[in-house]
Amino acid sequence: MPFRGNPAVFVCAVAAAFAAAVCAVCYLRAMRANKFVRVVLELSELNERVQYDVGVFLSEIPAYLERIRVSDFAYNVCHGGMSFKKELSGDGVSIVKSCDDGDLRVSFTLVPSAVALKTLYTLVLEHIVLIIRQDMLMKIRTLNDAFTNVLKVQVFVQHDIKNIAQFIQTSYYNLQNLTNEADELRYVRYLKDSYAPLMLKANKIINTLNLKPSDKPPAMMTIKIEDVLQQLVSLYHLPCEVRGKGSVYANEGTIFLIFDNLVKNMYDKYLEEELELLIEIADEPDKIKVSAFDSGSPIADIERIFEPFYSTKSGGSGVGLFQVRAHVNKLGGTVTARNTEKGVIFDITLPKSSPAPDG
């Protein structure tokens, strides 16, 4: 025997063999761990490739789990009326990961072929559940945002339909009280004057409901602000003087929407209070300024009146003044409201030449 009589050489040989065995075991474990890590990374890539579709992701998982020798697996993903489910095909020692987010429940089960590698299987399992939960929450948020947008569009359309309905209601009342031919002729002239602003309102509702976006940019033209305001004051039968002149180069529908909401706001207040009303237009070098005054009561929480869906009026939608601010800002102008000792003043400034619309 080569080691007989030489214990030191024998000990060294045994130590070397043990070290080699340890290295081999470590290498094998490292290779296994590397395989599991690669599967985790590839599952993330798969999720991105299927565009975060949970159903497609689950249908393609088996090929990845086979590579790490998963004997069987099951899952149950539930949200509302949506569900994805697969049962285990047999018995076996399993690892389960579940999470419950109220209306979203995710459960995934793995049956590993090697229980000794439980830590690595748990890593894969945690990652799968994380991907499923993340994708489902993203889909839920997208759906919620879509429903929210639909509801917002509904509120905006209701706001404009309500304005037209009020005009029809008033027109019906006036028609019932016409007593002679002269009154009828005057009323026909009034309806003709009201035709243009009413058509703009109707077109706005139709455009809002049209889901197919137009390829054409909004038509731009020179608009006399005093003419727009005079039409609106006449439309709402407001005892309001319009002083001054000024023109802007912009889209007619946008300008009409801005001042229609402003005048409609004055009209609603006029129905509840006895008011003195005045609108003044100041023609400045590079902009025009419109100041709308009413002598009525101050506005509570005036700093909030331009917030969406906030209204101080009973039954108000809180849409009108929000639309005013949004469109004025888009044109590069400003809008403010202030309480004074004599009443309330809204100031709107608009550049004479508005920015080019987005195409």
pLDDT per residue as tens digits for the range 43-56: 989 988 988 888 88
C-beta of residue 261 within 8 angstroms of C-beta of residue 324: yes
Same domain, 138 and 37: yes
Same domain, 325 and 236: yes
What is the total count of domains within the chain?
2
In a domain, 209, yes or no: no
Q: What is the pLDDT along the chain (359 residues), one digit of tens a residue?
A: 455 555 655 455 555 555 555 454 454 445 567 788 888 889 989 988 988 888 889 999 999 999 888 889 999 998 866 778 899 888 888 899 998 887 789 999 999 887 777 888 888 889 899 999 888 888 777 766 666 665 556 655 665 666 667 667 777 777 777 777 777 777 777 766 666 666 666 666 655 555 455 566 677 889 999 999 998 888 788 899 999 999 999 888 888 888 988 998 898 888 888 889 999 999 988 999 999 999 989 988 888 788 776 666 665 556 778 888 888 998 999 999 999 999 999 999 999 875 554 44
Same domain, 138 and 226: no
pLDDT at 25 (0 to 100) = 46
Query: Which of residues 95, 126, 145 is at a domain's end?
Result: 145
Same domain, 131 and 250: no
Same domain, 134 and 258: no
Phi, psi angle pair for 309, to nearest 5° = 65, 15
C-beta of residue 306 within 8 angstroms of C-beta of residue 268: no
Same domain, 123 and 24: yes
Same domain, 235 and 334: yes
Query: Which of residues 145, 172, 206 is at a domain's end?
Result: 145
In a domain, 26, yes or no: yes
pLDDT at 336 (0 to 100) = 93
Among 57, 60, 201, which Cα is nearest to 133's? 57
Query: Which of residues 123, 145, 167 is at a domain's end?
Result: 145
CB neighbour list of residue 86: distance below 8 Å, 6 or more residues apart? 58, 73, 74, 75, 76
In a domain, 225, yes or no: yes
Q: Per the structure block, which two tokens stand in for 133?
A: 């939960």
Could you list the residue range(s) of the whole structural domain that residue 297 is in?
A: 217-351
Question: How many whole angstroms separate alpha carbon 40 and alpha carbon 127?
Answer: 7
Amino acid at 337: A
In a domain, 2, yes or no: no
Same domain, 319 and 225: yes
Q: pLDDT for 159-209, tens place per residue?
A: 566 666 766 777 777 777 777 777 777 777 776 666 666 666 666 665 555
CATH number at residue 238: 3.30.565.10
Q: Strands 277-283 and 240-243, how do they pair?
A: parallel
Q: At what angle do helices 252-270 and 181-209 cross, to 10 degrees?
A: 120
Same domain, 139 and 228: no
In a domain, 184, yes or no: no
Q: At what angle do helices 54-67 and 7-49 cross, to 10 degrees?
A: 160
In a domain, 65, yes or no: yes
Same domain, 132 and 226: no
In a domain, 200, yes or no: no
Q: Per the structure block, which two tokens stand in for 252?
A: 């007619």
Same domain, 132 and 229: no
pLDDT at 175 (0 to 100) = 73
In a domain, 169, yes or no: no
DSSP H helical segments within 80-117, as ranges?
none
